[in-house]
Structure 1
Amino acid sequence: MAENHSENQTDKQGLKRVLKMGDLIAFAIITMVPIAPMGIYGVVAVLSKGHVPLAYVIAACAMVFTAWGYGQFVQRYPEAGSVYAYVRETFGANVGFIAGWTILLDYILIPALVILVSALWLQALTGVSMMVWAAIFILAATLTNILGIELTAKVSNILFYFEVFVLIAFIATAVYKIATDPALSFTLHPFYNPDSFNFHAVLTGTSVAVLSFLGFDIMTTLAEETIEARKIVSKAVVLVIPIVGIMFVSQTYLGAVIHPGYEFADSDVAFYYIAQEAGGKWLQMLCLLGTIMAWGIGDTITAQAGISRVLYSMGRQGHLPRIFSKLHPKYKTPYVSTLIVAFITVPLVYLLTLKDLSSLVNFGALTAFALMHIALIYRFVKIERKPSHIIMPFIGFCITGTVWYGLDILAKGVGVTWIVIGIIYLAVITRGFKVKTILPVD
């Protein structure tokens, strides 16, 4: 095995196996963002009628089974992979393409989502239109990703430690507030309030809460660089869910106790006001800064970098027009794909609400997860002849399907339309499904 490899080298022999379980878990937590629920708390609260921590518990359960499914595929295909790769290996290239096309919807929308969250929080603070802030975030991320990806790697660890500090500060202050304020008490109402509980409402809230868990699967793409990948990655991908689940449920439970109910001056920035109720202006500013740094800076840069490289890869493989694979002559970054992502992000931020974007992103993720569960069930029954092993993926599929059912009608309509477009596009590049190899797009 070669001792060194360039950043963009994809040959398996060039990837040094140095990562351990702790490295993988830390990387996944950084990607998922420890304070992610703060950005969408109000949306989940309104949809679930105040049962935010319950929505996160259900979302965590769904993700545990999904993560277990990922772990099973990693044991069988330890090479860097994804839902696309796992479905492709089970059902073939065409079905794999549809799985990849479905998850692509996530990647396209996530930059707009994370920018909108930060822009809305800054609008609440400054009164300056969120469109101005959105333009600043888009421009900054685009320039950073064109100039080079190194900044993302250098900044991510700093952002992670700051986010953990913000989370600890909020939890400590909120616990003190509840313990010392006679009007507040530690109660189970955030998990079940008979006056407002509605199961379908909780499912709808859960369908958005799932958003906070997206990114747990990032470690499966690092399998080629992990020591004993079959063993380590399959365990780490499952362990990370309860770890972040505790973080998410803790902050949302305390937020629900501090501010009972689900009525806010502006639900899009609900946690901004909850932080002030918990600790005053200083905590409000700290949570604001944490959310902006996590969503507006860290997530915006990484999300845009991620989708631009997916488009670059698809262009290089011939699944998209070749122009998507063009690299900047000086910085060697996929600048055409990066610019295209930026241009797509602008109208999405302007036209869609936080609720709409959250639901649409989760449509892609939940549909892809469901396909992964189906692929695993098929593999156990038809390929490996182990029908007794289908219990876990079957439960995972049922939970994922139930949460998918809670998605709003807009998300389902747009999502199904997206899949239909993908099928039509696949039919074109495979000459009506007559060839097994996807033909290059000129």
Structure 2
Amino acid sequence: MQATLKRTLGLWSIVMLGLGYMAPMALFDTFGIVSGSTDGHVPVAYAIALVAMLFTAFSYGRMVKVFPSAGSAYTYTQKTMNPHLGFLVGWSSLLDYLLLPMVNALLSQIYLSAIFPEVPPWIWVVAFVLIITCANIWSLTSIAKFNTLLVLYQVLIVVIFIILAVRELMNGEGYGSVLASGPLYNSDMRISSLVIGATVLCFSFLGFDAVTTYSEETPNPSSTIPKAIFLTALIGGLLFIIGSYFAQALFPDVTSFNDPDAASPEIALYVGGKIFQLFFLAASLASTVASGLSSHASVSRLLYVMGRDNVLPSKLFGYVHPRLRTPVLNIIIVGLLAMTAVFFNLETASSFISFGALIAFTFVNLSVIVHYAWRKKMYSTVTGFFSHIVIPTIGAVFVFILWFNLERNSFMLGLSWAALGIIYLLFVTKGFRVRPGNIQFEEAGESPRIDVQAK
């Protein structure tokens, strides 16, 4: 009997994996950039981004109830629309999933090289990837526990920052008040600036969607995963909003920073001195490790489902180690790809990521409409109409706004990757004459222990 993934993850383990993927400390990395673009209203931009992402999070929750498989957007599109289209969505999503481990390796290199400048930078990339890969091979349960510690450490640093910021505000710094209205509203606020800022910040929420890839490693996915998706987006969003409020109250004008695009070290130094800055930078490194662990685990599960469905070679990508119950070969492949970070810089690697995420978000919202409203006709009640037409449509509109503001290089690189996927699909389907992997449309890839009836 072929080995399957081990069902050991509970609700909060999955939420912590999602928060680790999102990296709470990222709010300080983007603060200077977004504060400039929103004229000093970062928390409002985060609130807009949170609302936008919660609509798509709702759509993910609806789809995982009926298709609780580890394949996420790939599975939903494959089963509600078309297997060929599902493959292309999965292929495009791979762009996001495959490159995030590389981005985390590059970030770790940047942090550690700043602390140990005498060490060759490539050593940090190799060491980081080896540690992340070995941890993923061993056990996802162990990763979830360690990831929880890393996330809690980041939350602790955010809380300490808030306490220190309150002290400075009470001493008359910044707006000079803990309950200042300036970060939230003034008469000169421009909706267009807030939307542009929210567009940038939406990508801080990448990770709430990744928890769907753990569906086959939780005992009751149709109940647990929707809750985990919502809680990951909500908790992460609230951390971003609260943390950015106090940062904005303390730093109303980004011109006070020497480098607004990389303001986080200056923020830490200002509020807590050298000692706090050291712990702050350690939390930034912890966020990179946590995101590295989570993203590595997620992409290996997506590859596993695509291999199990025979759209990728099943003997390689569909393999699960019989004792460890992890997709070992996929984990090693992702590790090898992450190693190529030694040949790239952060800007190049990061420019690929947004395209894949937006493809996934778009088709998850569309999948809800196609499955529930078109196929199941579940729109005759007020609840059904809002759940299966209004909410996913609003989610799709928000995603369209993100598409409109997507950086040109990211769009062009994403299209190039999608073109490679089309060429591969033409080959394996003999010009679209057969389904990829000869998938059985209604049953492909589901564990016999999963209930796939619509809720």
Q: Name the TM-score, length of structure 1 as normaliser.
A: 0.82
Aligned to 1:162: 153
Give the secondary-structure state (helix, strand or coil) at the position aligned to 1:216. Answer: coil
Give the Cα–Cα distance (whole angstroms) in 2 for the partners of residues 365 and 174 of structure 1. Answer: 34
Q: Deviations over 1:223-261 (max 9, x none)?
A: 566676545543453344222211111112222333333
Q: Deviations over 1:390-438 (max 9, x none)?
A: 1111111111111222221111111122222212211111111101242
Is the 1:312–1:324 Cα contact (8 Å) retained in structure 2?
yes
Residues 357-368 of structure 1 mapped to structure 2, 5 A cutoff: 357-368=349-360
What corresponds to 2:208 in structure 1?
A: 216
- Corresponding position: 1:274 with 2:264: no
2:165 equivalent to 1:174 = yes
Maintained 8 Å contact 1:178/1:258: yes
Secondary structure (helix, strand or coil) at the match of 2:263 reads helix
What is aligned with 2:403?
Answer: 404
2:235 to 240, 243, 261: 243
1:230–1:438 Cα change, 3 Å? closer
Q: Deviations over 1:141-169 (max 9, x none)?
A: 34444566565244223223222221211
Distance 1:43 1:122 in 2: 23
Aligned residues between the structures: 427
**Is 1:82 paired with 2:81?**
no
Are 1:64 and 2:54 an aligned pair?
yes
Task: Identify which range, 264-273 or 55-64, moves more after superposition.
Answer: 264-273
1:85 alignment partner AA: T
**Mapping of 1:301-316 within 5 angstroms?**
301-315=293-307
The 1-side partners of 2:241 and 2:113 are apart by 27
Aligned letter for 1:59? A
Distance 1:404-1:47 versus aligned 2 partners, 3 A rule: farther
- Separation (CA, whole Å) in 2 of partners of 1:330 and 1:230: 26
1:107 pairs with one of 92, 97, 102:
97
List 4+ stretches of structure 1 deviating above 6 A.
193-196, 326-333
Q: What CA deviation, in whole Å up to 9, does each residue of 1:78-102 have, x standing for no partner?
A: 4555111111221021111111112
Deviation per CA, 1:279-325: give whole Å up to 9, x if none: 21122111111110221x22223323433444355445443345556
Matched with 1:289 is 282
* Residue matched to 2:427: 428
Q: Would the alpha carbon gap of residues 152 and 76 (structure 1) be closer, same or farther in structure 2, given more than 3 Å must change?
A: closer
Q: How does 1:328-343 map to 2 (within 5 A)?
A: 337-343=330-336
Deviation at 1:69, TM superposition (A): 0.8
Bigger mean CA deviation after superposition, 386-395 or 262-271: 262-271
Secondary structure of residue in 2 paired with 1:181: coil
- Cα separation, partners in 2 of 1:193 and 1:276, compared to 1, 3 Å: farther
**What runs of 5+ residues in structure 2 fail to find an aligned partner?**
380-384, 440-455
Over the aligned positions, Cα root-mean-square deviation in angstroms equals 3.6
Q: Deviations over 1:46-66 (max 9, x none)?
A: 665654333322221111101
Structure 1 residue 384: deviation in Å? 2.4
CA distance in 2, matches of 1:122, 1:337: 27
Read off the aligned partner of 1:106 and give its amino acid letter.
D
> Partners of 1:234 and 1:147 in 2: how far apart?
27
**Contact (CA 8 Å) 1:118, 1:291: kept in 2 or not?**
no
Counterparts of 1:56 and 1:158 in 2: how far apart (Å)?
Answer: 25
TM-score under structure 2 length normalisation? 0.80
Q: Which shows bigger deviation, 184-193 or 371-380? A: 184-193
The question of whether the paired residues in 2 share the 8 Å contact of 1:258 and 1:278 is answered with no
What CA distance in whole angstroms lies between the structure 1 residues aligned with 2:268 and 2:102? 25
Mapped to 2, the partners of 1:400 and 1:138 lie a distance apart of 32
* Structure 2 residue matching 1:280: 3-state secondary structure: helix
Q: Identity, % of aligned pairs?
A: 32
Q: Is contact 1:207-1:362 (8 Å) kept?
A: no
- Provide the C-alpha distance between the structure 1 equivalents of 2:293 and 2:68, rounded to a whole number of angstroms: 28
Q: Partner residue of 1:141?
A: 132
Q: 1:138 to 1:39 in 2, by over 3 A?
A: farther
CA deviation after TM superposition for structure 1 residue 117, in Å: 2.8
CA contact 2:22–2:207 (8 Å) conserved in 1: yes
- Residue in structure 1 matched with residue 445 of structure 2 by the alignment: none
Q: Distance in 2 between matches of 1:90 and 1:258?
A: 49
**Counterpart Cα distance in 2 of 1:47 and 1:360:** 23
Asked if 2 retains the 8 angstrom alpha-carbon contact of 1:312 and 1:334, the reply is yes
